[in-house]
Structure 1
Amino acid sequence: MKIDIPIINAFVDEHKGGNPAGVVLDAQQYSQDQKQRIAASIGLSETAFVSPSSVADFKLEFFTPTRQIAHCGHATIATFCYLRQIGLLPNDQTSKETIDGRREILMQGDMAYMEQSAPRYIELDQAHRDRALGSLGLEPSDLLEGAEPCVVNTGNSFLIIGLKDSARTKSIRPIMTDISAISDEYDLIGYYVFCPEAVKAGRDAGARMFAPRYGIDEEAATGMAAGPLACYLRDKLKIQKHQFLIEQGYFMSPASPSVIDVKLQAEQGSIISLMAGGKAAVSETRQLEI
């Protein structure tokens, strides 16, 4: 059987760049093994499989080339922008079912925003901090002042590492085996490394994401990591804002410019939820035989 799979670039920056995800509709007809094989054949960091849900408007399952993952930001944004573009999403308020429950989705024009949970933080001891820096070819002196590495979870866990400037961020030399080992120990999707310097004015940070544990050496846009970073910027670095623009993909080779808009909801000084979103565009259609 041949199937056509649209490839959707999510979090495009002014209609360019973004992070590609496969979107497979009517996925209820495929077994879990078939879904994994499809994702491996497409070879992108994540592929979303869309099927009916009894608790939300759509059920979404996410697969990397090597395993299933609970949440995926860019594949969610890709899916809902695509559903809107092909006329299957008439309402601005919609929802997805994932492995661990229902999440709200908000459409604003041609942008899609996904709900994430309140942040949970895990501090690293010095030994693990030094190991993490070593896995990137960095020294403690490279860290942004006041930005101690920290695991942050708003649905998925990422190790957030703040560096002083863009030069250090560009010069990272990742040792994928070491990153994967630390990711196993902390049950991470991967590392989200940022600096306060962005390429374009008005942006709050430039970031890179490494997730070799899930078969992803580097990713151009990661909505489920930008959410934790926005929480970190507010809670740990005391940047008292409720909206953050995170750049990603600019420091990759080749570059794939992306921008993620994160809106925080706080009550009595504490973040209780957030919405992370952006735009998406179809880049191509691939045909697979399964």
Structure 2
Amino acid sequence: MPRLTIPVVQAFVDAGRGGNPAGVVLNADAFDPATRQRIATRVSLSETAFVSASIVADFKLEFFTPVRQIAQCGHATIATFSYLAQQGMLKEGHNSMETVDGVRGIRLEDNQAFMEQRAPTFTPPDQVIADLSTQQILDSLRLSATDLIDGQVPVVVNTGNSFMIVPLRSAGAVRNVAPDLDAIERISEQLDLVGYYVFSPDVQQSGRDAGARMFAPRYGISEEAATGMAAGPLACYLFRYIQSPKTTFLVEQGHLMPSPSPSVLTAQLYLDQHTITSLWVGGRAATSHSIDIDY
């Protein structure tokens, strides 16, 4: 049976620690989709990125969770392009990646990697499923309406992937979430979500904007420490619904997990007459170790 050595890169590290691990497989052109899925299953991280040649971008990236392929993955993108830069395969400045749903820009600056996301769409869940109530969403987190920020309700936000953004009033409420993963998976299937992104305005370090947790059982992810494709939607939610005047947001994630892995993600919004036209999400990454698998 063939053996493969795969670097594990921690994306969105906070002061050089924590972060969310992703496997990075270079020269992946030789692997068919079934082999990639088998490799990702054996790597058993929330996502593994497979890097191959592209004729329309600098690299082609495909992302696999332990159970299925996913169109976009923020932390695996940041992990991959940080790793490529650290290996001398890319220079700072503008780069690009091809994915299954199009070409995205990548920016490398100040030892950070940033990925481009689409302008957001906002959809109240009951506009997708008429009988899906806010209380059902809260029940799937074992929370009550008193845990919500006053005047705010969950909204589905998509900047390339769809996430249920759930606004809670305090870090205590975020910490106390007891997810009903079966219910979250069922609602995620109904709404075509990657998962839930639950946040509050409470943070561990002054100057940051939100503390979040992410649950994606539909993709085999009970919880992960940093989610770039969810931090973008959260920043858009903060701008539109909380009416923050800011256009750059710092999002903490991983701090409130049962086994903490502190992460920090930067989301930058670009506007045209107060309308979000594009956004970039990024952070720092560090290679922690490598693993050998038979596939």
TM-score by length of 1: 0.99
Counterpart-to-counterpart distance in 2, 1:8 and 1:145:
39
1:267-286 residue pairs with structure 2 within 5 A? 267-286=272-291
Which residue does 2:147 correspond to in 1?
142
Matches within 5 A, 1:1-290: 1-125=2-126, 127-290=132-295
CA deviation map 1:3-49 (0-9, x unaligned)? 11000000000000000000000000111000000000000000000
Residue deviations 1:139-167, cap 9 Å, x none? 11110113210000000000000101011
SS in 1 for 2:133: helix
How far, CA to CA, are the matches of 1:128 and 1:78 in structure 2?
37
- C-alpha distance in structure 1 between counterparts of 2:294 and 2:211, whole Å: 39
Partners of 1:287 and 1:13 lie apart in 2 by 27
Deviation of 1:90 after TM superposition, in Å, equals 2.3
Question: CA deviation digits over 1:237-265, x for unaligned, max 9?
Answer: 11011100000000012100000000000
SS, match of residue 8 in structure 2: strand
RMSD: 0.8
Q: For residues 26 and 275 of structure 2, what CA distance do their matches in structure 1 show?
A: 38
Asked if structure 1 preserves the Cα contact closer than 8 Å seen for 2:199 and 2:213, the reply is yes
For 1:146 and 1:103, locate their aligned partners in 2 and report how far apart those are by CA, in whole Å: 35
Q: Answer whether contact 1:144 1:163 (CA < 8 A) is retained.
A: yes
Task: Report the residue type matching 2:143 in the other structure.
Answer: L
8 Å CA contact 1:7–1:21 kept in 2: the answer is yes
> Could you tell me whether the CA contact under 8 Å between 1:146 and 1:237 is conserved in 2?
no
CA distance in 1, matches of 2:262, 2:75: 13
The structural deviation recorded for 1:213 is: 0.3
Matched residue SS, 1:16:
coil
The runs of 4+ residues in structure 1 deviating greater than 6 Å are none
Q: In the aligned structure 2, how far is the partner of 1:112 from the partner of 1:146?
A: 35
- Alignment size in residue pairs: 290
The CA distance in 2 between the partners of 1:118 and 1:90, in whole Å, is 27
Matched-pair contact (CA < 8 Å) for 2:13–2:263: yes
* Cα separation, 2, equivalents of 1:226 and 1:24: 24
Share of identical aligned residues, percent?
53
Q: Equivalents in 2 of 1:18, 1:127: separation in Å?
A: 34
One-letter amino acid of the counterpart of residue 29, structure 1: A
For 1:32, the aligned partner's letter is P
Q: 1:66 to 1:167 in 2, by over 3 A?
A: same
2:147 maps to amino acid: D
Deviation at 1:178, TM superposition (A): 0.1
TM-score (norm: length of structure 2): 0.97
Task: Describe the SS at the equivalent of 1:160.
Answer: strand
